[in-house]
Structures are given as C-alpha cells and as structure tokens.
Amino acid sequence: MLVFADRIDAGRHLARSLQHLAGEDLVVLGLPRGGVPVAAEVARALDAPLDVVIVRKLGVPFHPELAMGAIGEGGVRVLDQDLVHRLGVSGDQVRAVEEQERRVLEHRAGLLRRGRTPIELHGRTALVVDDGIATGSTARVACHVARELGARRVVLAAPVGPPESVDRVPEADEVVVTATPPGFRAVGGYYRDFTPTSDGEVVEILDTARRRWSHDHSSGDPSGTRRTDRDVVVAVDGVHLGARLTVPPDAHGIVAFAHGTGSGRRSPRNRHVAEVLVEAGFGTLLLDLLTPAEETDRHHVFDIDLLATRLRGASAWLAGERLTAHLPLGYFGASTGAGAALVAAAAEPERVRAVVSRGGRPDLAGDALTRVVAPTLLVVGGRDETVLQLNRRALARMTCPKALEVVPTATHLFEEPGTLDQVASLATSWFGHHLDGVPARSPGVAR
C-alpha cells in the first residue's frame, strides 16, 4: 500500500502521473487548505501557474448538510434546480443562503489571495488538485466552478482516493488518482504526516509560486538559461540527509538553511524565504538536519552540537559540488537551527560569510557566540517576548558585525500576514551586503 510521507511527497508522486499534461495551456488549482501544498508540487513539475479554487456549498435551509448548489469567485453560481423544485425551496430562501455563503467566500478569498487577482481560466485547462478524494463532493463542485469560470477542459487529480472515485466525477473531463487502494478509509490514513495546513501556509505557498512563475517566465533571460532545482542526498558521518538544492543562473552566493524544532526542508516558511533569496540571485540548500527516526527523539532536536556538525557536513558537500563550490556561503537558521548555525559559523570562520536568524535561539550556541566572526542578523517577532529577550542577551555577547531587527506584529512563527515577507526582505538585504557586496536596502523595520 502506497503511503506518502506528507503532502509535498504526495504532490511529487501525483506530478509523475500527470506528465501527459505538460505543455498544455494549464492552470493548477489547489483546493484550500490541504490541496494547496500538493498542487504546488504539481505546478512546479509541470511548469504551470498555481492558484486556488475557492468554493462554498449552498445548503438547503432546513437541511444544511444537503447541497442544493454551490458558488465560486467571479459571481459563479451552480444550482440544482430539480432538487430546489422537489424540496420546495423558494427563490428568497436560495438568495438568503447565497448571500450568507457569498460573504464567507469573499472573506476566505481576501484572506488567501491578499490582493492577488485570480488567474484567468478562459480557454485553458484547469487542473483541480486536492490532497485526497473521499466523497468527492467538494472536488465535484470545484470542477463545476472551474468550468463556469471559462476553463476549456477540467482535470481532477489527487494522490489517493477510493477505486470508484475515478468514475464518479462527471464534472471533470479526466480524473487522475495515483493510488486507489481497495478497502479505502480516511484520506489521512495514507499519509505519515497529515498535519493540517494553515491559512498562513496557503498564503506563503501561493506567494512563492506566483514569484517563481513570474521569475521563470520573465523576458529578462534571453539565453533561456534555467535554474537548477532538485532533491539531493547529503552524506554526513554515515548518515544520509534529504535536501533540496536550488541554484539560479549566475548565482552570487549560496545559503544553507538550518531548520528548527520539528521542522525540515519542507517547511513552508523557510521555503518562502528561500524562494525570495533565489529570486534575488542566491542559491539555497534546504536541509533536513535529522533523519525521520531521529526527529522523534527530543534529545536529538536540542542537540546543538549534533545539528552544527550536520550543517558543517552540508557546507563541505556544497564546497565539493560544481554548481556551488565557488559561491560564498551563508547560513539561515530558525528556532534551534539558529543556535546550530552560529556554532557551525564559529567553527568555520573562513568559510561562512554571513548568518541570519529567524525567531531563533542564538543563546543555545553558548560560548560559541563570542567566537563568531561572520556578520549576523537576528530577526525576532515583537510579540515573541521571551525569545526577544534571549536574542538581546545573545547579541550583547557577540563581537562580530551584528544587528537585531524586530518585526513588531509577529509572533514566534511569523504567521501574521506580511511578517514573513519582512523576514525575507531583511535576509535578502543582509546576504546581499555580506555575500555579494551589494549595499543593503533600508529594511524599515523597528529595532
């Protein structure tokens, strides 16, 4: 039985089943929330733009669980007239339900889009993606809405669903399901990690995908040179660590990410920052510092010396790679990963040129703080009071070029709208100055 590691792994499996769509005039539409990280991997693999399809069911007034229709953005409404007539639902009742659901839909669209306009579907293939198909009711509505928005062809795709799922979505021209296990149970049973996707993560994924698409399809690269973007395995002391290496054309630096507690290379927050750095001309290495088995042991999660050793091993790996050997190196650390980055930087003073910490625990670097020579930027949320105090104390111990930037409205994970963009801007400026010699932009963030 195929079991996916998480939604990103599922998206990569699904993308392989959808290669026949490559080259079509395609828009990938993720169903919020869980379908969006799956759809992002599909969009990346098929070199297609990513958007969301936001729908709301219209429940019968006296039986809300029973759908009499649905609505979507752009004023789209789909109504089962036979059901409405059979149940005696009046026009006023239909309008009242629609007005209520329209308000909810508009709120959700505003929250997830943050001012982005929907991608035009007229005359194109709409590929609707979810993280799994159970009853298929929401997916059917999404396919219908995509059609009403002008899609020429509608394809529904999911990593997993019951065997009969491919035959019970008449609203789609094609249904692609990677795994259709017999005796199908809940979708989450086919994932090792089925952690709910937050609204903030959806926004970050959409922002990252939109920037990637704009960057890769801009007219500024007449040679047509494309960036390197691939999964790699980094061997350190006999342990094989998963990583994602991205190197844009003419990169002028490489940034290795040291993830924090319970996080790894698939962290939406660090992927978001990494994508901004790539657009600015920096390569990135998103690295799992622990194996899946080690992540379950809290002792390993807080073993800063172990994490630092792994990060140094990754640095040596980068120094041996043709694409990255010549690039100046920086570290981006989050949470406990910041402590590891500073310990590693102290041990590699000639190799590491700059360090940035996001919501980090630099205090966990201990006495190594006094030996760090790489210019270091600490970025902390203003509402993360305990960690802010720890960062101030750590900053006082450091003698290297240093700065502390406070993002006033942010909490520890920088989930508040716009706060992660500020982190990305600050990191880009810092690495731009210290890895590439480009003067830093004024960040405009309170200290």
**Start-to-end C-alpha separation, the chain:** 53
Mean pLDDT of the 23-33 span: 93
Residue-level pLDDT at 440: 31
Q: Are residues 391 and 244 in the same domain?
A: yes
Please name the residue that has the structure tokens 């991997």. 41
Residue 185 domain-assigned (yes or no): yes
The beta strand positions in 33-114, using DSSP E, are 50-52, 55-60, 63-72, 77-79
Residue 153 domain-assigned (yes or no): yes
- pLDDT one-digit tens code per residue, 162-219: 988 777 788 999 999 999 998 888 999 999 999 999 988 898 899 888 887 876 665 4
Single residue among 190, 211, 240 that ends a domain in this structure: 190
The DSSP code for 19 is G
Residue-level pLDDT at 165: 76
Residue 257 domain-assigned (yes or no): yes
Single residue among 166, 190, 214 that ends a domain in this structure: 190
Residue-level pLDDT at 298: 67
Residue 209 domain-assigned (yes or no): no
Residue 284: name the closest of 329, 325, 217 by CA: 329
Residue-level pLDDT at 185: 85
Q: Chain centroid to CA 322: how far?
A: 28
Query: Does the pLDDT at position 103 exceed 80?
Result: yes
Residue-level pLDDT at 383: 94
Strand order of the β-sheet with 125-129 is: 50-52, 26-30, 125-129, 153-160, 174-179
Single residue among 140, 174, 190 that ends a domain in this structure: 190
Q: Are residues 145 and 226 in the same domain?
A: no
Q: Which two tokens stand for residue 190?
A: 């086919």
Mean pLDDT of the 61-78 span: 84
Residue 266: pLDDT band with limits 50, 70, 90: confident
Residue 214 domain-assigned (yes or no): no
Phi, psi of 63 (to 5 degrees): -155, 70
Residue 210 domain-assigned (yes or no): no
Most confident of 75-79, 81-85, 304-308: 304-308
- Write the CATH number for 65: 3.40.50.2020
Query: Does the pLDDT at position 221 exceed 60?
Result: no
CA distance 363 to 365: 5
Residue-level pLDDT at 220: 46
Query: Does the pLDDT at position 434 exceed 60?
Result: yes
Q: Are residues 270 and 416 in the same domain?
A: yes
Residue 31 domain-assigned (yes or no): yes
Residue-level pLDDT at 99: 92
CA distances (Å), 444 to each of 336, 341, 406, in order?
Answer: 26, 26, 10
CB 367 within 8 Å of CB 292: no
| pTM over the 0.75 mark | no
> Mean pLDDT for the chain?
88
Residue 263: pLDDT band with limits 50, 70, 90: low
Q: Are residues 422 and 341 in the same domain?
A: yes
Mean pLDDT of the 324-334 span: 95
Domain with 369 in it: 222-434
Residue 76: name the closest of 126, 139, 142 by CA: 142
- Write the CATH number for 398: 3.40.50.1820
Q: Are residues 153 and 100 in the same domain?
A: yes
Q: Are residues 236 and 179 in the same domain?
A: no
Query: Does the pLDDT at position 229 exceed 60?
Result: yes
Residue 442: pLDDT band with limits 50, 70, 90: very low
Q: Are residues 151 and 236 in the same domain?
A: no
Q: Are residues 229 and 185 in the same domain?
A: no
- pLDDT one-digit tens code per residue, 40-50: 999 999 999 99
What's the angle, vertex CA 65, arms to CA 64 and CA 68, rounded to 5?
A: 70
Mean pLDDT of the 65-87 span: 85
Q: Please tell me which residue, 93 or 442, carries the higher pLDDT value.
A: 93
Q: Are residues 173 and 249 in the same domain?
A: no
Residue 398 domain-assigned (yes or no): yes
Q: Are residues 185 and 259 in the same domain?
A: no
CB 178 within 8 Å of CB 149: no
Side-chain half-sphere CA neighbours of 202 within 13 A: 23
Q: Please tell me which residue, 29 or 437, carries the higher pLDDT value.
A: 29
Q: Which two tokens stand for residue 362?
A: 């630099």
Please name the residue that has the structure tokens 């959806």. 202
CA dihedral (341, 446, 201, 359) positive or negative: positive
Residue-level pLDDT at 219: 46
The CB density around residue 92, as the number of other CB atoms within 10 Å, is 8
Q: Are residues 232 and 305 in the same domain?
A: yes
Residue 373: name the closest of 344, 339, 401 by CA: 401
Query: Does the pLDDT at position 231 exceed 70?
Result: yes
Q: Are residues 32 and 101 in the same domain?
A: yes
CB 260 within 8 Å of CB 334: yes
Residue 250: pLDDT band with limits 50, 70, 90: confident
Domain count, the chain: 2
Most confident of 52-56, 128-132, 271-275: 128-132
The DSSP code for 363 is G
Phi, psi of 325 (to 5 degrees): -60, -35
- pLDDT one-digit tens code per residue, 104-133: 988 888 889 877 778 889 889 999 999 999
- pLDDT one-digit tens code per residue, 374-402: 999 999 999 999 999 999 999 999 999 99
Q: Which two tokens stand for residue 203?
A: 């926004």
Q: Please tell me which residue, 230 or 393, carries the higher pLDDT value.
A: 393
